[in-house]
Amino acid sequence: MKKTLNIKGQLLELNGAKVMAILNLTPDSFYDGGMYTSEKEILQACTTFIEQGATFIDVGASSTRPGADLLTPDQEIKRLSIILPKLKKEFPKTYFSIDTIHVKTAKYALDHGFDLLNDIFGGRANQAIFDLAAEYKVPYIGMHSIEKPKNMQDKPLYLDGVLEHMKFYFIELQQKARAKGINDLILDPGFGFGKTLQDNYTILNHLDVIKTWFECPILVGVSRKSMIYKLLKSTAQTALNGTSAIHSIALLKGADILRVHDVKEAVECIAIYQQLKSCQLKY
């Protein structure tokens, strides 16, 4: 199992799992929409994320919540331009990821020093994004998803089951990425992206099986999502406890990266998980 990422020539070890903080520069994200609008708020958020233990910060300009309309590349870049050129200058030791399906937006971020590409469409929007990741020698995060955010939750159905669909989806994605020269591929099961509640928990329960299929790190993004608050009959605002519970399960099942709104709590989950692992008896 690959336990390192080569990020522009720097090797990052993933042993013990890492945290990716979510920085949404959007007014309509399901939980933190409109939270970060000024340069001061954004820089303070990044400072807090880093102080609390985030290794990565994932920056997005277009909401991908169910029912959302995706922005054009120019709309994304306009929204990002208020802060993106300053982020790597202010925080040179932090790894920044751009969350986009658009090649133009991805190139804009990479030209300003960003370190990873996070593509919720897994290349389905434009396979040239694979060429871009290979050219800039950055890790590529490919998510399992169906349809677009606008209609992905309109009765999602997998005739052979969600795990079987995911297996062949990721096999094809991996083949395309490798053919383009991408050596560092991270797979995201896409919790909440074209999945029923049952699908989401089936994936979580079999995350360790998914890991055996691919020699790639696994990123888990469940933070405050409806698979938590709908089950618990609560809201995204009150779903932190449920999020931490699922993070703990995901770590036990082999997750390598947790993509989160709440960094401190995720780091604590990892610390407990690492302590648990260190106490395993050898028979």
As its CATH architecture, domain 4-278 has Alpha-Beta Barrel (3.20)
CA distances from 209 to 22, 165, 169, 261, 262 (A): 27, 14, 15, 26, 27
Q: What is the tens place of the pLDDT at every residue in 268-278?
A: 999 999 999 99
- Give the other-Cβ count within 10 Å of 231's Cβ: 13
- Position 151 confidence tier, pLDDT thresholds 50, 70, 90: low
- CB-count exposure of residue 97 (10 Å: 0-12, 13-18, 19+): buried
- Position 281 confidence tier, pLDDT thresholds 50, 70, 90: confident
Contact 172, 178 (CB under 8 A): no
Structure tokens at 75: 């709309």
Contacts of residue 201, Cβ cutoff 8 Å, sequence gap at least 6: 227
Active site residue 178: no
* Cα(225)–Cα(260) distance, integer angstroms: 10
Q: What is the tens place of the pLDDT at every residue in 80-124?
A: 998 999 999 999 999 999 999 999 999 999 999 999 999 999 998
Catalytic residue of the set 259, 264, 277, 282: 259
Residue 234 backbone phi and psi in degrees, to 5: -130, -145
* Cα(186)–Cα(143) distance, integer angstroms: 9
AA letter at 2: K
Contacts of residue 90, Cβ cutoff 8 Å, sequence gap at least 6: 43, 46
Report strand pairing: 10-13 vs 4-7: antiparallel
Q: What is the tens place of the pLDDT at every residue in 53-62?
A: 999 999 998 8
Helix or strand holding residue 45 (H, E) = helix 39-52
Q: What is the tens place of the pLDDT at every residue in 156-202?
A: 778 789 999 999 999 999 999 999 999 899 999 999 999 999 999 99
Place of tokens 């709104």: 261
> Does the pLDDT at position 239 exceed 70?
yes
Place of tokens 């990052």: 12
pLDDT of residue 147: 67
- Position 2 confidence tier, pLDDT thresholds 50, 70, 90: low
Cα angle, residue 100 at apex, residues 86 and 245 outer, rounded to 5°: 95
pLDDT of residue 154: 63
pLDDT of residue 63: 76
Active site residue 225: yes
Q: Measure the N-to-C terminal CA separation of the chain; round to a whole number of Å.
A: 23
Contact 244, 211 (CB under 8 A): no
> Does the pLDDT at position 152 exceed 60?
no
| Percent of the chain topping pLDDT 90 | 76
Catalytic residue of the set 137, 225, 233, 253: 225
> Does the pLDDT at position 146 exceed 90?
no
Q: How many helices (H) and strands (E) does the chain have?
A: 11, 10
pLDDT of residue 71: 87
* Cα(2)–Cα(218) distance, integer angstroms: 10
Q: What is the tens place of the pLDDT at every residue in 60-82?
A: 988 776 666 788 999 999 999 98
pLDDT of residue 132: 97
Task: Return mean pLDDT, the chain.
Answer: 91
pLDDT of residue 1: 57
pLDDT of residue 158: 84
> Does the pLDDT at position 125 exceed 70?
yes
pLDDT of residue 69: 77
